[in-house]
Amino acid sequence: MANPPHLANDCFALPPGTYWTPVDEALAHLRQHMHAIVQLETLTIDAAAGRVLAAPALARRANPPHSNAAVDGYGFAHAVLKGGAVQNLPLVEGRAAAGGPFTGVVPMGKAVRILTGASLPEGVDTVIMQEDVRVERGILHFETGLKPGANCRAAGEDMAAGAVALPAGVRLGPQQLGLLAALGVDQVKAYRRLKVGVLSTGDELRQPGEAATAHEIYDANRPMLLELLGDWGFEPVDLGNVGDSRAEVRQALDDAVVRCDALLTSGGASAGDEDHMSALLGESGQLNLWRIAIKPGRPLALALWQGMPVFGLPGNPVAAFTTALVFSRPALGALQGQGWQVPQPYLLPAAFEKAKKSGRREYLRARRGAEGMVEVFASEGSGRISGLSWADGFVELPDRALDIGYGDLVQYIPFSAYR
């Protein structure tokens, strides 16, 4: 199938006059301009785990397909019950079991042995649990009071045949695959996984295991971003790292166009002498440097390179992680046909105090404590990468000034909400 349309050249262009862009404005702009850019394909559900539906999945049959028993017990027609404290019904020969239905008709005034999941035989509309009866010499004895239709599941009560089981845009996880299988759906139309490259830049970068001087650092961003992409359901493409060379950066960008649908870079996207990434993207005429009113983060480079979206993240690992979750995750999801995903926060009492200044949205590394309160990492320094492994989410503080006291409710967003 043909690729969906490319992004417009001005998709990342903010309105003129915007300097410190509020987080909500930046997200709204991305939401307006991001759409699916990957091909569609038909897959069996065995091969569809993690994929995003490109068309609604319809139930091939009802669930359950027939009215059936919800418990092990005995079935009969409720209308035969009489007055008095105790009911007495003779049992018919045979039984109804899942996969082994009762083939006859249960006469009025009689009952049949029935097991969980078995289709209700003709003549049965009510089931009593086996724990609530006594059987003596082929006669069923139980107390009066059972309601009509008790312990029965109606045909199609979960879903009718032909109904929309899952709408387009849903990512198929274990629960969704189980539902489709129960409805007899064997194939789905889905978007191909978005191939997202990760490229690090800088002469100072070394890989774990290599010797490093005091003036060199190990590349934390690339393995972190690659793992994030896989966790989010995209196909990560490791493009390695390149030095501070205009020719190397250009070649890396050209290679990414061949191998990827989108690209995440870190470092080299500012305006310094060795920021060749921003210089090259600027030469293409499609670079937009967003200064976001966010902490940590702020600089975000967004561009197209030969039609491929490029998200230039900050070089600092904490800022790269934060901006990847806040901005890249929903944008990449939209590029893969998932629509725009908004993480849902929880209101939790603060196990900390803080006086926040006005002007920037803040994302504090945080985790839930044993008593249901949320605590924040000891330092807000964006160089403290240990805080990312310590935390299990963010405390999101609004743009305005705010005084937070111990026990005040704050917005907590678990990292898992970005999946």
383-410 pLDDT, tens digit each: 789 999 999 999 999 999 999 999 999 9
Pick from 329, 325, 299, 324: which is nearest to 314 by CA? 299
Q: Say yes or no: 145 and 166 in one domain.
A: no
Is 1 a residue whose pLDDT tops 60? no
Measure CA 218 to chain center: 30
Q: Say yes or no: 148 and 162 in one domain.
A: no
Question: H helices within 206-338, ranges in order?
Answer: 221-231, 246-259, 276-283, 317-323, 329-335
Dihedral in degrees, nearest 10, Cα atoms 141, 146, 152, 156? 160
Q: Say yes or no: 144 and 162 in one domain.
A: no
- Give the C-alpha distances (Å, rounded to integers) separating 254 from 204, 250, 275, 280, 301: 23, 6, 17, 11, 18
What is the pLDDT confidence band of residue 202, given thresholds at 50, 70 and 90? confident
Q: Say yes or no: 318 and 383 in one domain.
A: no
Q: Say yes or no: 213 and 134 in one domain.
A: no
CATH number reported for the structural domain that contains residue 182 in this entry: 3.90.105
Is 314 a residue whose pLDDT tops 60? yes
Of all residues in the chain, what percent carry a pLDDT higher than 90?
A: 76
- Determine, yes or no, domain membership for 394: yes
Beta carbons within 8 Å of 282's beta carbon, 6+ residues apart: none
In the listed set 153, 180, 202, which residue is the last one of a domain according to the structure?
Answer: 153
Number of domains in the chain: 4
CA-based torsion, 236, 362, 388, 339: positive or negative = negative
Across 223-232, 244-253, 273-282, 362-371, least confident range: 273-282
pLDDT score recorded for residue 142: 96
pLDDT score recorded for residue 65: 94
Predicted model pTM: 0.87
Beta carbons within 8 Å of 340's beta carbon, 6+ residues apart: 31, 34, 330, 333, 334
Q: Say yes or no: 328 and 197 in one domain.
A: yes
Residue-wise pLDDT tens digits, 340-352: 999 999 999 999 9
Q: Say yes or no: 91 and 216 in one domain.
A: no
Check if the beta carbon of residue 299 is closer than 8 Å to that of residue 278: no
- Give the C-alpha distances (Å, rounded to integers) separating 197 from 6, 72, 227, 260, 311: 17, 55, 12, 6, 10
pLDDT score recorded for residue 11: 83
Q: Say yes or no: 350 and 376 in one domain.
A: yes
CATH number reported for the structural domain that contains residue 149 in this entry: 2.170.190.11
Check if the beta carbon of residue 43 is closer than 8 Å to that of residue 188: yes
Domain that holds residue 380: 346-418
Residue 150: which H helix or E strand, with range? none
Q: Say yes or no: 131 and 219 in one domain.
A: no
Between the two ends of the chain, the Cα-to-Cα distance in Å is 28
Q: Say yes or no: 329 and 356 in one domain.
A: no
What is the pLDDT confidence band of residue 2, given thresholds at 50, 70 and 90? low
pLDDT score recorded for residue 86: 93
Is 46 a residue whose pLDDT tops 70? yes
- Determine, yes or no, domain membership for 298: yes
Query: CA-to-CA distance for 245 and 234, rounded, in angstroms?
Result: 29
Tell me the mean pLDDT in the region 225-231: 97
Residue-wise pLDDT tens digits, 61-77: 999 999 999 999 999 99
Residue-wise pLDDT tens digits, 240-265: 998 888 888 899 999 999 999 999 99
CATH number reported for the structural domain that contains residue 241 in this entry: 3.40.980.10
CA triple 109-113-114, angle to 5 deg:
115
Is 372 a residue whose pLDDT tops 80? yes
- Determine, yes or no, domain membership for 226: yes
What is the pLDDT confidence band of residue 273, given thresholds at 50, 70 and 90? very low
CATH number reported for the structural domain that contains residue 411 in this entry: 2.40.340.10
In the listed set 295, 314, 335, which residue is the last one of a domain according to the structure?
Answer: 335
Residue-wise pLDDT tens digits, 99-144: 999 999 999 999 999 999 999 999 999 999 999 999 999 999 999 9
Q: Say yes or no: 221 and 266 in one domain.
A: yes
Is 271 a residue whose pLDDT tops 60? no
Query: CA-to-CA distance for 274 and 138, rounded, in angstroms?
Result: 91
Query: CA-to-CA distance for 261 and 285, rounded, in angstroms?
Result: 19
Query: CA-to-CA distance for 376 and 353, rounded, in angstroms?
Result: 10
pLDDT score recorded for residue 161: 96
Is 169 a residue whose pLDDT tops 90? yes
Q: What is the 3-state secondary structure (H, E, C) of 50-79?
A: CCEECCCEECCCCECCCCEECCCEEEECHH
Q: Say yes or no: 210 and 256 in one domain.
A: yes
In the listed set 286, 307, 335, which residue is the last one of a domain according to the structure?
Answer: 335
Average pLDDT, the chain: 92
Across 36-40, 139-143, 320-324, 377-381, least confident range: 377-381
Pick from 302, 196, 306: which is nearest to 250 by CA? 306
- Determine, yes or no, domain membership for 179: yes
Is 308 a residue whose pLDDT tops 50? yes
